[in-house]
Amino acid sequence: MSRLNHFLLGDTDGWLRTALKVFWFFILAIPVGLFVLFTALNFTDLPSVTELENPKNNEASPVLASDGTVLGRFFVENRVMVNFNDLGPHLEAALVSTEDERYYDHSGIDWQSLPRVVIKTAILGNASSGGGSTITQQLAKLLFTEQVSANIVERGFQKLKEWIIAVRLERKYTKQEIIAMYLNRYDFINGAQGIRAAAENYFDGKRPADLDVQEAAMLIGMLKNASLYNPLRFPERTERRRNQVLAQMLRNERIDQVAFDSLSTLPLGVTFTRQRHDDGLAPYFRMVLAEEAKKILSQSAYRKSNGEPYDIYRDGLSFQTTINPQLQRHAEEEARTHMKQLQAEFFKHWKNMDPWTYTNPGSETEVRVERRQESLRNAIRHSDRYQMYRRQILSPVLRKITAQRDFRFSRNDREVERMIEEAKNPGVITDAVTRNLISQDFAAGHRAVMKLPEFKELQTAWTELQRTVEEEFDKETEMRVFTYENARNETDTLMTPLDSVRYHKMILQIGTMSVEPTTGFVRTWVGGSDFKWFQYDHVTTQRQVGSTFKPFVYAASIALRGITPCQKVLDQPVTIGPGDGNFHLLKPWTPRNSNGGYSYDDYTLYQGLKNSVNSISAYLMKELASTEPIRNMVSNMGIPKASIPDAPSIALGSVDLTVQQMTGAYTTFGNNGVFRRPVYLTEIRDRSGQLIYEYLPEERPAISPQANYVMVNMLSKASVGNLGGVKGPVGGKTGTTNDQTDGWYMGLTPELIVGTWVGGDDRWIRFRNLRLGAGSNMAKPFFRRFVRAAQEDEAVAWNTERGWTKPAGDIGIEMDCNTYESPYEDMEIGPSSSDPFGNSPDF
């Protein structure tokens, strides 16, 4: 028996000695090995201290209104960082209860859960770390080690890296900061990057601190796998997951049984709204602001410490603007109301008629029909539908041609069409060179292409494209178009693509901006009729200003010559010829009035400005003997002198300027003759709140206070009619250009200067008569609506008792026409006077 035992068990003492050696080897080797491994990993691609302090997040940049509220954001990912104090109590309770019960007891690694982590993550390769890793490890994974390897060894190394990063994070940040960083970083999908956007998107604009318990539980439940627990696609599954989070909160005594029983029966309550770039107030303004901000931040003085430029879409900057949200809301609402009524009037006016073929033999400035048809073709070619056909039919041939050699050939349709026409009618290219439409090099490139064998293919493809477009654009198709008939400003209808292009080109546009004259702060900005459909900003677009320029002519005459607005001028032809003054004309200039004739009556300057009598403006210009006094004064009012032609016709408004420039210049009248450059961006700060950029006010005297006060008085009288409901001092000037292509109104109050333009993007999109197309019908009603709505809003606090600034002492210019010439019939002085000149048209 002893031999058998010896045979079976062998040398027991030797076996025990060997086992003990192996045991102690692993006991000593594992810590040493882990120490060596951790040390080695520290020298790999782990994040540096700087990277830990400044983790890379695509953080949205909020655009702040004057009261600190958010107008909108610039973003690639809609991620807005929030502090722990902004999370509220429910998110923290749900997070810790569900994801890391011992969160406040460990330093980044929960050693009690280590066996589960090894099995779940390192061996089984489960990419979801919820319940397996600490909150700090999950943050480390999101920030620095998000990619999961398929290799078990690599997964093990990755987990070790997470541990190291987690420990470093715990040393660098407080527990509260780590929770905030984690929730800020997580992608809750559906355009909701970070907890702030998640709360806003899923729960109708709520802030994280305002979330109810069950709402916070739903969002924390999504941390396990946002795609799997997507409340928009899988509401039932998401609700079950939410209730699991509530159960964990009950287990950890963060809610009681009564609360759990009631909350777990509630529906999800998701009211989803996806945040887009054009969401919120002032989308046109924010588009312009983005470009301005890029220009500022490209300058060396405003770059990062390492010399790199800031990225407004990723760097979490904040832009402090001057936009007043209450006023902006009124401006947008009243613009929509006004434009809806005007558009209905416009469609009725053009019923059964075509702006692209209509002609008016009496007009000297109407755009030729050929030019209008060409513009319509260009609009068709810029449409998405046309571009789809072009990619299918024409682009393959163009790629074959340009792949052979570097031709001076832009590949656009106009160039292709020119070559096709040249093949049919030789001389087209030569004519284009003669008219400076293309260069000699371009012409040579065209001719080189025409010699290629592939040119035949190009001709065939071009013909096929035109045939396809002609057929397809004439077929009725289900499509979505712009409309004023519902709150969304869009509707589904059956329409041909050609009619769709024509229809949208016939939508009238508005550009309006208001400025506080004493500060220069821009308070409102509406750049068009609807940003989603028409993204071209009309506040910064140059259009002819018409009679709104005349006050500058009057102001220069009063300031330099000291004439009284009571002076009478005969309404008769005024001619400025070659040799007159310093105009340097080559042929005589004799402007006509808007009705084509003259009354041969005497008009005071008051009456001349109110009724926009061209002959009186021409008289004042001739008396000044040069355009320089006007151009210099306007330059001091913020409009570049180079933008004002050296021609007497500027007296009638033959100048192309923007609403932004005109409104800025008119603020001089509202600020006692001192120009303050309009400003809409006052500060740019980085994500930590450090100041990057701050605006510097710019002001300069432009008109003497005395002459300015006279001009304000004249503008008050020029704008008496059609302003029912507006309280307090008010003035302004309308403007209407040739063929009623542009309607303007520059409105003045002591609180705000409001500049407004209305018209079509194309000059032939216009009313055909002055009654409908004048600035008094196109633009002035918006001013009345907007100011009246703002004055009625207590939140705006509009001071209707505030008056114009009057210089101390004697003005030195007679404004009382009863004194200047007695008797002077029907003349009353003061902002409350009724219209002293009858109901003559306000052009």
pLDDT reported for residue 18? 73
Q: What is the mean pLDDT of residues 519-546?
A: 96
Query: How far apart (Å, rounded) are the C-alpha atoms in residues 822 and 816?
Result: 10
* pLDDT > 90? residue 137: no
Query: How far apart (Å, rounded) are the C-alpha atoms in residues 2 and 231?
Result: 73
Query: How far apart (Å, rounded) are the C-alpha atoms in residues 630 and 646?
Result: 10
Residue 142: pLDDT band by 50, 70, 90 thresholds? confident
Spatial CB neighbours of 629, under 8 Å, sequence gap ≥ 6: 556, 560
- Are 84 and 179 a contacting pair, CB within 8 Å? yes
Q: What percent of the chain has pLDDT over 90?
A: 69
pLDDT reported for residue 7? 43
List, in sequence order, the alpha helices (H) in 473-580. 497-505, 550-561
Residue 795: pLDDT band by 50, 70, 90 thresholds? very high
Q: What is the mean pLDDT of residues 823-842?
A: 36
Q: Tally the residues of the chain.
A: 843
Encoding tokens for residue 6? 């010896």
Residue 596: pLDDT band by 50, 70, 90 thresholds? confident
pLDDT reported for residue 720? 73
pLDDT reported for residue 117? 55
C-alpha count within 13 angstroms, C-beta hemisphere, residue 12: 4
pLDDT tens-digit readout, 658-709: 999 999 999 999 999 999 999 999 999 998 899 999 999 999 999 999 999 9
Q: How many CB atoms within 10 Å of residue 500?
A: 20
pLDDT reported for residue 128? 44
Q: What is the mean pLDDT of residues 824-834?
A: 36
pLDDT reported for residue 439? 87
* pLDDT > 80? residue 781: yes
Q: Which of 79-93, 385-399, 432-446, 595-609 has the lowest mean pLDDT?
A: 432-446
pLDDT reported for residue 225? 94
Query: How far apart (Å, rounded) are the C-alpha atoms in residues 255 and 262?
Result: 11
Query: How far apart (Å, rounded) are the C-alpha atoms in residues 341 and 835?
Result: 26
* pLDDT > 60? residue 309: yes
pLDDT reported for residue 143? 80
pLDDT reported for residue 744? 98
Encoding tokens for residue 56? 């890379």
**What DSSP character marks residue 205?**
T
SS3 187: strand
User: Where on the phi/psi map is residue 487: left (φ > 0), alpha (ψ -120 to 50), or beta?
Assistant: alpha
Spatial CB neighbours of 103, under 8 Å, sequence gap ≥ 6: 96, 134, 135, 175
* pLDDT > 50? residue 536: yes
CATH code of the region 79-263: 1.10.3810.10
pLDDT reported for residue 839? 33
pLDDT reported for residue 403? 80
Q: Which helix (H) or strand (E) holds 694?
A: strand 691-694
- Are 195 and 186 a contacting pair, CB within 8 Å? yes
Domain ranges of the chain: 2-41, 79-263, 369-473, 478-505
Query: Which has the closest alpha carbon to 365: 756, 674, 737?
Result: 737
pLDDT reported for residue 125? 53
List, in sequence order, the alpha helices (H) in 601-735. 605-610, 614-624, 628-636, 659-670, 705-718
Higher pLDDT, 792 or 826: 792
- Are 409 and 446 a contacting pair, CB within 8 Å? yes
Residue 789: pLDDT band by 50, 70, 90 thresholds? very high
* pLDDT > 50? residue 264: yes
Residue 6: pLDDT band by 50, 70, 90 thresholds? low
pLDDT reported for residue 167? 83
Q: Which helix (H) or strand (E) holds 778?
A: helix 775-778
* Neighbouring-strand partners of residue 757: 511, 744
Q: What is the mean pLDDT of residues 728-736?
A: 95
Q: What is the mean pLDDT of residues 114-125?
A: 55
Q: What percent of the chain has pLDDT over 70?
A: 85
* pLDDT > 80? residue 450: yes
Query: How far apart (Å, rounded) are the C-alpha atoms in residues 163 and 38?
Result: 10
Higher pLDDT, 130 or 206: 206
* pLDDT > 90? residue 277: no
pLDDT reported for residue 35? 54
